[in-house]
Structure 1
Amino acid sequence: MRTFNKLSVALLAGAAVFAVTAQAGAAEKIVISNWDGYMPSDMLERFTAETGIEAELAVHATNEEIMGKVVAGKGKGYDVLFVSSPFVEALKNLGLVAELDHAMIPNMKNLYPEAMKLEYDPGNTHSVPYAWGTTGLCYRSDLVGETPGSWMDLLQPADALKGKVTMLSTDRWLMGAAFLAQGKSVNSTDAADLEAAKELLISAKKDLLAYDDTTFYSKLVSGEASLVHAWDGWCNYGIAENADIKYVIPEEGSDLWVDTMVVTAASENKEAAHKFLNFILQADNGAWVPANILYKVPNKAAMDALDPALVEQFPNLGMTPEELLKQEQLRDLGAGQKAFSKTVTEILASN
C-alpha cells in the first residue's frame, strides 16, 4: 500500500488519536481510522458542524496495522475504516465489514460509473472508493539518456543509471515490478512465478542506490537518483519541485491501486457512518485530495472541479477512468499470501 497508502509512512510519527469536539448535545459519535494527512485537518469538525455527529480520528500507519486491530477486536471500537482494495476483500471474507445502504449515500452519484465496477467490490456493495492511481517510473528527463519505457529499465538499468535507481520495497509493489516485467499478473501466487520474480529482483539489487518508499522523489530532486519506482502521486511531489521530473507507466502496464472507505460490521452507529461516507463524497471534499496531496479521486464531480492548471503541471492527474482501468487491479491474495510474503522476505534479506 507496504503501507498501502503513500502518505502514511512519511507523515506518521506514531499512532495517535485526535478527538474532535462535538457540538453540545451531539447524540451520536463515530470513530474513523485513516492514514495521517489523508483528509483535511478540519474535516471532522466540519462534519460535526453539518450533521451534529461527533467524530474521532484514529490514525493507522499501514493497512496491516489496522487489519490486525480490527481482526483482533472483531471490528469493535471502529465505525469507518480507510483501507486499500485487497483489504476490503479480506475484511469482507471475514465478515467484518457491513453491506452498504446506497440509499443512505446519495452522493454516490458523484462517482465515475467506472468506479462502481471495480473487481474487488463490484457495485460497491461493501466499500466506497476514495482515491486511486498507478505505479510506474519517475525520472529526471535531464539526467536519463532515453525516456524509460519498460520495467526492465528499472530492473536492468543502463550502465549510466546503475547506482542511480531506487525501488519500492513494500511487498505488492516490489513484486509487481518483476511480475509485470515478466508478463505475469500482479496478483500471482504461482510458485514458478514467485521464484522467477525472486531471481530477477535479487539480481536487480546490485544496481540499486536503495530501496526507498518514502524519500525517493527527494533523491530525484537532489540528483542523487535519476530513475525511481514510484506511485504517481508521490512522483508529483518531485514534479512540484523540478519540472524536469516526469512520470510514465511502462509499456508492460501497471497496477491499479484503490484506497477505500468501509463501515465495520460491528459499528453500533451505522447510520452515522453512512452519513460520513456521504459527506466525504461531496464534490468540494473530494476535490481536496488532488488539490492538496496530488492523487486522483474516483469522484467525477470533484475531478471536474479541478483547476486545469494542476493537470497541466501534473499530467498524471489527467488520466481518465478508462485509462486507469486498463491497469490490473490489486486483489486479496488469500491463501497465497503466506508464500508471497515468504518470497519478499527472502528477496529483502538476500545479499
Structure 2
Amino acid sequence: MISWVKKLVTVGALACMLMTVAGCGGNSEQSAQKDDKGDKELNLFIWSEYIPDSVIKKFEDESGIKVNVSNYSTNEECLAKVESSAEGTYDIVVPDDFMIKIMKDKGLLQKFDKDKITNLKNIYPNYMSQYYDPDNEYSVPYLAGTVLIAVNTDKVKKNITSFNDLLDPEFKDSIVAVDEERIIIGYALKALGYSMNDTDEAHLAQAKAWLQKLMPNIKVFDSDSPKTEMISGETSIGLIYNAEAALAMKENPAIKIVYPKEGMQRFIDSFCITAGSKHKEAAEQFINFILRPEIAAEITQSYPYTSVNEAAKDLLSDEYKNNPASSIPPDVLNTQGEFMKDVGDATPKFDEIWSEVKK
C-alpha cells in the first residue's frame, strides 16, 4: 500500500515537472502566447493626419509588427491621455518640443538606446541637441514646421503682412485657426510685440483683449484638417500648420502664404518612447525605419511639413522643394521662428484666457 502511494506521488511529481518544462498548465501557455503577441505589437499615439497608411503597412509587412495607431489633436490632449491611461497604453508619442520637456520632467518618457537608432545620422544637425533634450536621449526629430498665415487671394484683396491685419472687421467669420491654446495666445503676444512665452500678467491681459477683438473673425477652430475649410472656400484666411497650407495651395493656387512680420512659432515634433512602454525594442525598430531616406521622403510627400532628414533631400520632389509653405527656408525659421517653452506656473493663466475668449 505504501509502495503504491510512493509510486503515485512519484508519477504525479514527474508529470508536473514535464508539464512545467513544456509550459504546462493553461495559464503558462496563455502567458507565452501573450508575450509572443506582445513582441509583435506597437502602440503609436500621434497627431491626426501625420503619418501615411502606406508607411505603416510597409513597416508591418517588413517587421511582422502590428502598429495600432491612435490620434490626438493638441499637445495638451497628448499629455492628458498619457497621464490618465494605464501604463503601457502607448509605446510612442510624438509631441512638440516644449511638451517633450514637460513630459520628460514628469517622468513620462524613457531614454532610447542610440545603438538601435542607427539612422539618427540622417538628421540635419541643426534639428538635434535642442534646449528641451540637449543630448537627444529622449527624442528623435520627426518633422518640423510652424503655424503661418494662409490667404485666399481671390477673396482677400488686402495685403496681409501681420497678425494685426487679421483684426480688420471685414474679415468677420473668415478665419480658420488651429485649436492650439499656446500657439494662438502666443501669436496674440507676438502681435503686441512680446515673446510668445511671455508670462507677465499685464501682457497676458493685453493678449486676452487682443484675442477678444479677433474672435468675431474666427469662423472655426480646427487642428485636424484646417486646410478643408480653406479649400472649400468656407474660410478665406487661415492660421494653420505649414503642411496644411501647402496642401491647400496645391488644390487652389490662389491660396498664398505669409510669414508674419512679427515672427512665428517654430516647432520640431519628435518620436518619444513612453516610460511605461511594453514594446521598447519594437518602438526603436519603428523609429529607425522612419528615419530611412526613402521613408522620410514618402512621409513629407504626403504630409508636407519641413523635412528634418538630410539624407532624404535628393529624394524630395521639386514641387515640395519649391513650395514656400512646406520647404520653409532655414533662415526664416532661424531668424523669425520662436520655440514655445513650458510656462510652468503660468499655465493656468493661459488656460483661463483660452476658456474665456472661446466661450
Same fold, judged at TM 0.5 (above):
yes
**Does 2:326 align with 1:317?**
yes
> CA 1:50 to 1:58, structure 2 compared with 1: closer, same or farther past 3 Å?
closer
- Whether contact under 8 Å (1:75, 1:96) holds in the other structure is no
Which residue of the partner structure matches residue 344 of structure 1? 354
Which residue of the partner structure matches residue 199 of structure 1? 209
Which residue of 98, 116, 124 maps to 1:112?
A: 124
**Does 2:273 align with 1:263?**
yes
Deviation above 6 Å: which 4+ runs of structure 1?
A: none
- Whether contact under 8 Å (1:34, 1:57) holds in the other structure is no
**Does 2:288 align with 1:278?**
yes
1:60 partner SS = strand
Which residue of the partner structure matches residue 76 of structure 1? 88
Q: Tell me the CA shift for residue 278 of structure 1.
A: 0.7
- Whether contact under 8 Å (2:51, 2:303) holds in the other structure is no
Which residue of the partner structure matches residue 55 of structure 1? 66
Which residue of 150, 161, 167 maps to 1:149?
A: 161
Which residue of 189, 210, 220 maps to 1:211?
A: 220
- Whether contact under 8 Å (2:39, 2:279) holds in the other structure is no
Q: Tell me the CA shift for residue 46 of structure 1.
A: 2.6
Q: Identify which range, 330-339 or 193-202, moves more after superposition.
A: 330-339
Q: Where do 1:53-202 residues align within 5 Å?
A: 54-62=65-73, 63-73=75-85, 75-154=87-166, 156-157=167-168, 160-202=170-212
> CA 1:242 to 1:30, structure 2 compared with 1: closer, same or farther past 3 Å?
closer
> CA 1:280 to 1:243, structure 2 compared with 1: closer, same or farther past 3 Å?
same
Amino acid corresponding to residue 221 of structure 2 in structure 1: D
Q: Identify which range, 274-283 or 262-271, moves more after superposition.
A: 262-271
Q: Identify which range, 190-199 or 70-79, moves more after superposition.
A: 70-79
Please give the TM-score of this superposition, normalised by the length of structure 1. Answer: 0.82
Cα distance in 2, alignment partners of residues 309 and 44 from structure 1: 24
> CA 1:204 to 1:323, structure 2 compared with 1: closer, same or farther past 3 Å?
closer
Q: Tell me the CA shift for residue 311 of structure 1.
A: 2.9
**Does 2:291 align with 1:289?**
no
Q: Tell me the CA shift for residue 186 of structure 1.
A: 1.4
Cα distance in 2, alignment partners of residues 134 and 323 from structure 1: 11
Amino acid corresponding to residue 147 of structure 1 in structure 2: N
Q: Tell me the CA shift for residue 113 of structure 1.
A: 0.6
1:176 partner SS = helix
2:266 partner SS = strand
1:286 partner SS = helix
Q: Where do 1:21-40 residues align within 5 Å?
A: 27-40=39-52
Q: Identify which range, 208-217 or 320-329, moves more after superposition.
A: 208-217
State percent identity of aligned pairs.
30
Report the structure number with the largest CA radius of gyration.
2
- Whether contact under 8 Å (2:307, 2:327) holds in the other structure is no
Q: Tell me the CA shift for residue 218 of structure 1.
A: 4.2
Gap runs ≥5 in structure 1: 1-23
Higher helix share: 2
Q: How many residue pairs get matched?
A: 321
Q: Identify which range, 191-200 or 98-107, moves more after superposition.
A: 98-107
- Whether contact under 8 Å (2:60, 2:67) holds in the other structure is no
Cα distance in 2, alignment partners of residues 252 and 172 from structure 1: 16
Q: Identify which range, 102-111 or 330-339, moves more after superposition.
A: 330-339
Cα distance in 1, alignment partners of residues 91 and 175 from structure 2: 41
Which residue of the partner structure matches residue 307 of structure 1? 317
Q: Tell me the CA shift for residue 110 of structure 1.
A: 0.8
Cα distance in 2, alignment partners of residues 27 and 165 from structure 1: 46
Which residue of the partner structure matches residue 43 of structure 1? 55
Cα distance in 2, alignment partners of residues 80 and 123 from structure 1: 19
- Whether contact under 8 Å (2:92, 2:272) holds in the other structure is yes
- Whether contact under 8 Å (1:84, 1:259) holds in the other structure is yes
Please give the TM-score of this superposition, normalised by the length of structure 2. Answer: 0.81
Amino acid corresponding to residue 89 of structure 2 in structure 1: G
Q: Tell me the CA shift for residue 224 of structure 1.
A: 4.6
Cα distance in 2, alignment partners of residues 278 and 163 from structure 1: 44
Q: Tell me the CA shift for residue 287 of structure 1.
A: 1.1
